[in-house]
Amino acid sequence: MTEPRETFDRFVVGANNRLAAAAARAVAESPGSTYNPLFIYGAHGLGKSHLLGAVVERAASLWPELDIRRDDGAHFVAGHAASVAAGSEEPFLAGYAHAGMLLLDDVHALEGHPSAQLALSRVIDALVGAGRQVVLAADRLPTGIAAVEDALATTLSQGLMVDVASPDYETRAAILQRMAKEEGLELTADVVQDLAARDYRDIEELRAAVGAIAAGQHKPTPKLDAGEFESFLSDVQVVVQQHVESWRGRLKEAIAYWQGEGFRTGVLERALDLPRAPDVAGLTATFTAAVEHLRNLERQARQVDPSLVGHPVFRDPERMEAAEDLLERLLSGETPAKGPSPAFARELFEVGASNQLAVHAADAVVAEPAQRYNPLVLYGPSGVGKTHLANAIGNALQRRGAMPGVACVNAQQLVDELIEAIHDGSVDRWRARYRAASALIVDDIQFLGGKERTQEEFFGIFNTMIEGGRQVVLTSDRVPADITDLEARLRSRFEGGLVVPIQSPDRALRERLYARFLADAGRPADEDVVRLLGEHPVQSVREIIGLVTRLGAASDLHEAPITVEFVRTELGAGAAAPRTPRISAAVPAGDPFADPEKTIFEWPDPGARLIEEMR
């Protein structure tokens, strides 16, 4: 009846299909009592047929006596035409009369067949009227079917219509990982990231890509988190139809049932006092979904602490937020986020004209976390010390005890972790780790560009941190305005704090760094050597470290000390060439300090530096 691969366990849930997956699971587990009919629409190859198959598999396992019939639009049209040609459509319609559940794929195939559309409308009305579940799928809304019969459009509009869109980056990555596992392939993270970054339009294209790799040589559990759950209920309430018939009696029955199950029913009891009939079906469906969500939270909590079974917070739908907070604390305590590297200490960070504004901001954050600059965004070219300074902030916060649980992560690692969480169905646990942190440091946020699901998740984490009075520090190789494919809402929040540059080391800073690194390498140099090296232009601290390593290797090779002449020989004659004094006001594009009042000047006298910051 269904493909062995078409199950809910094998359906990768993402932002593009979350509501459709949740609704499909609901009708499979409670056929005829929630969304009837359920109409799923979206472009070809996005998983609609998989969802129909998953409904069949799940319903058959729960209700083995249920007569389930799965069909498609083309077969329905052909069967109806044959029956009409034989003299009557009634025998054809009678074939559907005893179905306990009907699933019809590719409804758009009825386009141009008005009599078949009317027949389908009759079938659906009869089944829904008898309390039997109907699930349909098409590549467009009913209103998009050319010359659709009013009767069919009206019938379909009485249920829930949900769409399935193209998968985002993270969902594509999770799908690729599962497909590769099923094919017995081991794809590296780089390969998965490269494939996921390509603009594949549907699941079939992803499968073809994995098949091509196989020729050449996870089971995520759909679940609703807090924000997703609220969004789901909001979407459902918009389309649930009112069925008012002895509404107070129906509400009292629901109250009695759920009280018998041990749940508080205050919201249902208050509805009894309303002057007119509410949407009873929608209200009870929402309450049922809330109870199921609480049960899911309780199951997860039980795995961590069995004593929490029966806790009152899991018995009251109106205390949903408290239940989620309790679970989040449990999960975050079990798997805390990684902290800053202890190798990056503030006292080891050399300060110069090129970075002193950033250092001043960092020290202010440590002194008054989340009070002055939140978020603090450090940007500049690779190798100038952004990672060092960001980690140093985290270490200082932990050392002072102001914010002991500091989470520190690279943005690319954040993306990889989320993909893995989607893959193994642990997104809620992944999210809880970061939301529970007392401060959050994210390095290289430019890697969030184009990662739709990660940006969605990070938006929620970021807001939780800021609204909770917890410090956020971000680093990037460019200003937020220049990060490609970064959501406007994230960009505006990043720019709402202090965005401060770290530039390539100036000469005075270069001299101090050369002196320090040479001494650390056991090769202390005199002032003339350090001065000569300081004249050598470099773009980053990494280049300075690389040059010190190079000089040390050459010194060992020639068994010669590092002198002025030795350095000149190694660097070439250009190292001794005098530099033309200049005034420089060059700054990266989009620099918020790119104005005459906030510019670093380099004067002809190498010993003089002027930083003018007019506020």
CA angle at residue 259 from 254 to 262, to 5 degrees? 135
Indicate if 494 and 552 belong to the same structural domain.
no
Indicate if 25 and 146 belong to the same structural domain.
yes
The CA-atom distances, in angstroms, between 263 and each of 287, 296, 311, 316, 540 are: 10, 14, 11, 6, 62
Residue 562, domain member (yes or no): yes
From first CA to last CA, the distance across the chain in angstroms is 72
Separation of alpha carbons 407 and 405, rounded Å: 6
Average pLDDT of the chain, as a whole number = 80
Decide if pLDDT at 437 tops 90: no
User: Quick count: other Cβ atoms within 10 Å of Cβ 209?
Assistant: 18
Mean pLDDT of 57-72: 91
Number of domains the chain contains: 5
Residue 532, domain member (yes or no): yes
Indicate if 479 and 364 belong to the same structural domain.
yes
Helix H segments across 425-500? Answer: 427-435, 452-467, 488-495
Separation of alpha carbons 375 and 494, rounded Å: 6
- Could you give the angle at which helices 411-424 and 189-197 cross, rounded to 10 degrees? 90
32 neighbors 131 (Cβ within 8 angstroms): yes
Separation of alpha carbons 385 and 350, rounded Å: 9
Residue 403 — pLDDT band, cuts 50, 70, 90?
A: low
Residue 1, domain member (yes or no): no
Domain boundary among the residues 334, 368, 385 is at: 334
Range in 40-44, 88-92, 211-215, 291-295 the model is least confident about: 211-215
pLDDT at 319: 86
Report, in this order, helix, strand and coil percent for the chain, each rounded to 5. 55, 10, 35
Say how many residues make up the chain.
Answer: 615
Mean pLDDT of 203-227: 58
Indicate if 25 and 70 belong to the same structural domain.
yes
pLDDT at 39: 93
Residue 7, domain member (yes or no): no
pLDDT at 217: 52
Nearest CA to 605 among 514, 506, 538? 506
Range in 277-291, 379-393, 533-547 the model is least confident about: 533-547
Range in 276-285, 299-308, 382-391, 474-483 the model is least confident about: 299-308
Q: 20 or 187: which carries more pLDDT confidence?
A: 20
Q: Is 598 helix (H, G, I), strand (E, B) or coil?
A: strand
Residue 245 — pLDDT band, cuts 50, 70, 90?
A: very low
Indicate if 59 and 191 belong to the same structural domain.
no
Mean pLDDT of 549-571: 82
Residue 10, domain member (yes or no): no
Nearest CA to 352 among 511, 131, 476, 474? 511
Decide if pLDDT at 266 tops 70: yes
142 neighbors 152 (Cβ within 8 angstroms): yes
Decide if pLDDT at 412 tops 60: yes
pLDDT at 587: 39
Indicate if 372 and 452 belong to the same structural domain.
yes
Residue 6, domain member (yes or no): no
CA angle at residue 398 from 395 to 399, to 5 degrees? 85
Domain boundary among the residues 138, 163, 188 is at: 163
The CA-atom distances, in angstroms, between 585 and each of 133, 351, 604, 613 are: 70, 20, 14, 14
531 neighbors 509 (Cβ within 8 angstroms): no
Residue 593, domain member (yes or no): no
12 neighbors 220 (Cβ within 8 angstroms): yes
Indicate if 43 and 157 belong to the same structural domain.
yes
CATH number at residue 155: 3.40.50.300
140 neighbors 43 (Cβ within 8 angstroms): no
Residue 465 — pLDDT band, cuts 50, 70, 90?
A: very high
Q: 597 or 215: which carries more pLDDT confidence?
A: 215
Helix H segments across 312-451? Answer: 320-334, 356-367, 386-400, 411-424, 427-435
Indicate if 363 and 302 belong to the same structural domain.
no
**Sheet containing 471-476, strands listed edge to edge, beginning at the edge strand earlier in sequence:** 406-410, 439-443, 471-476, 376-379, 498-501
Distance of CA 198 to the CA centre of its chain: 18
Cβ-based neighbours of 569, under 8 Å, separated by 6 or more: none
Mean pLDDT of 310-322: 85
Indicate if 352 and 495 belong to the same structural domain.
yes
For 100, how many CA atoms within 13 A lie in the half-sphere containing its CB? 13
Indicate if 496 and 375 belong to the same structural domain.
yes
Distance of CA 98 to the CA centre of its chain: 44
Indicate if 47 and 129 belong to the same structural domain.
yes
Domain boundary among the residues 163, 186, 206 is at: 163
The top-scoring range by mean pLDDT among 235-244, 480-489, 593-602 is 480-489
Task: Give the domain range for residue 294.
Answer: 226-334
Residue 329, domain member (yes or no): yes
Indicate if 527 and 561 belong to the same structural domain.
yes
Range in 359-373, 427-441, 444-458, 588-602 the model is least confident about: 588-602
Q: Name the percent of the chain lying above pLDDT 70.
A: 83
Q: Name the percent of the chain lying above pLDDT 90.
A: 27
The top-scoring range by mean pLDDT among 97-101, 203-207, 229-233, 311-315 is 97-101
**Predicted structure pTM score:** 0.55
